[in-house]
Amino acid sequence: MHPAIQVQGVTKSYAEGAAAVRALHRIDLDIHSGEVTLLMGPSGSGKTTLLSIMGCILRPTSGQVFVAGTDVTQLNERELPRIRLSQIGFIFQGFNLFPALTVLENVALALDLKGISGRAAKDRAKELLSKVSLADKHNSYPADLSGGQKQRVAIARALAGDPAILLADEPTAALDSTSGRAVIDLLRGLAHERGRAVVVVTHDPRIMEFADRVVCLEDGKIAPESAATAAARFSSQEAAITSSTSSETGIATDFSRLS
């Protein structure tokens, strides 16, 4: 059986010539079904770029990416949405819920994009919300929910169409420790009990215990040191940076391409 995602020799550069910036350099990585894989590293290490490439949002400058055995680097721009819709669910740090729609309508809308509409979409949306323990929130609006509840709605939406792969960008960053633990525990359950391949970009060392594997990036490369050592070092670096810039706007991951 193929890995859910195979990344082979992937390099990503922005611009050309003297202005070129290399975000990734010859990355090799397999993502397996039934596992939670964390992508960790300091800001600018290439985590989000790699996640975007695995999600068929960005194209690599060179190398190959296989999603469910299909070489997506050989597909044209009209073919890529089919892969995203059928194989991949996205979970965002900022939730990206529509404030004017109810919880049920937010999930049903994602189903409509996948060709499921009407009563079938509503019934499936209710089923998904029940799976994330929000059966009593169908008619609530995002403004009425806590951060943890919003993220669980986002997970229910990501599960629309039953994707084999879930890609999450800092899903616990905006949550308190209790809500964050509940969200990552839910993601682990989706991997271990439902067989999804779950990839999480994070700076949060609290969720390392939930991971099956930790992949650490530095300067666009997979760090050669042990995962635990690297993750601890990177987390310490991030904590130091955050502390020294507490009066400023801080560091935010840009993943708006998926919204």
Digit-coded pLDDT (tens) for 93-106: 788 899 999 999 99
Q: Average pLDDT, stretch 24-48?
A: 93
Q: Where are the domains of the chain?
A: 5-250
Query: Cβ(130)–Cβ(104) under 8 Å?
Result: no
Confidence check: pLDDT of 187 > 60? yes
Contacts of 257 (CB under 8 A, 6+ apart): 52, 57, 58
Confidence of residue 140 (pLDDT cuts 50, 70, 90): very high
Digit-coded pLDDT (tens) for 12-32: 998 776 667 889 999 999 999
Q: Does domain 5-250 have CATH number 3.60.15.10?
A: no
Q: What's the confidence (pLDDT) of residue 18?
A: 65
Helix or strand run (H / E) with residue 167:
strand 165-169
The whole-chain average pLDDT of the chain stands at 84
Based on its alpha-carbon atoms, the radius of gyration of the chain, rounded to whole angstroms, reads 18
Q: What's the confidence (pLDDT) of residue 257?
A: 34
104, 161, 152: which is closest to 132 by C-alpha?
A: 152
Q: Which of residues 81 and 238 earns the better pLDDT score?
A: 81
Q: What's the confidence (pLDDT) of residue 246?
A: 36
Confidence check: pLDDT of 245 > 80? no
Q: What's the confidence (pLDDT) of residue 232?
A: 52
Confidence check: pLDDT of 230 > 70? no
Residues written for the chain: 259
Q: Average pLDDT, stretch 160-170?
A: 91
Digit-coded pLDDT (tens) for 73-122: 999 888 998 899 889 999 987 888 999 999 999 999 988 888 888 899 99
Helix or strand run (H / E) with residue 188:
helix 177-192
Whole-model pTM: value is 0.82
CB atoms within 10 A of CB 254: 8
Q: Average pLDDT, stretch 123-136?
A: 91
Helix or strand run (H / E) with residue 53:
helix 47-54
Q: What's the confidence (pLDDT) of residue 172?
A: 86
